[in-house]
A = this chain, B = another copy of it.
């Protein structure tokens, strides 16, 4: 199923993790699959080019057929509202069937930022395609966006016995504080409009001064700032907040 170099692409669906953004951080396997692809599919917000599609701009073959899967709704409705749930469920159901039909005769490469199994939208298609059956299905792991972010900061994230906690910024302030207090290293995903709450939670844990805000890691637009120095105001949804662990390490004698 996973094309060997030079071999023809077998029909089916292959989701490839694209990593944090730099095309050179795709895996060797993902790079080959994307370059050979005759059909690619990717998620995007309506009216946007799509981050996944942008990341592979230099890799796609000419004549590739593109399937843009446009979310019917993103942040306009609360994620727990019945309207949101219904619209998203219909959207995934629709694309599950459409991709499965295409994949009867073609190899379809689904492009996903970061790692597809870590908060990735593809998971909603994955479980539906598994339940549906009748289509060969593979997923190629990628370097998660958060890994690109701690590399952008130039500082290792965990040492020795450090505990790492990965939190969605969508949690309540109290929930953020409770989880941060049991952690040595902290990653907060899905920052965007949640930044003020994340900032308060870090301050309550005494960790605001150790926090960093990272945007567009590994790309030309990369930005790394101490969070305390970031002015109030909205930052992109895909920004990540980091607090590095300070765990055990064999120090050299003074």
Contacts and interface: CB of A to CB of B under 8 A. Distances in A.
A161 B168 contact: yes
Nearest to A92: B250
A170 B179 contact: no
Interface in A115-134: 115-120, 123-124, 126-128
B248 A159 contact: no
Nearest to A185: B166
Given A26-B27, A141-B151, 8 more contacts: A19-B141, A22-B29, A85-B251, A89-B253, A117-B158, A118-B150, A165-B166, A165-B182
Contacts of A116: 156
Contact of A171 (B143, B155, B163): B163
Contact of A27 (B24, B120, B126, B166): B24
Given A25-B29, A26-B27, A85 B250 contact: yes
A173 interface: no
Interface residues of A, number: 69
Interface in A142-188: 142-144, 147-148, 150-151, 155-168, 170-171, 178-179, 182-183
Contacts of A28: 23-28, 31
B166 A164 contact: yes
A168 B17 CA distance: 26
Interface in A58-87: 79-80, 84-86
A148 B252 CA distance: 34
Nearest to A22: B29
B163 A167 contact: yes
Interface in A92-121: 92-93, 115-120
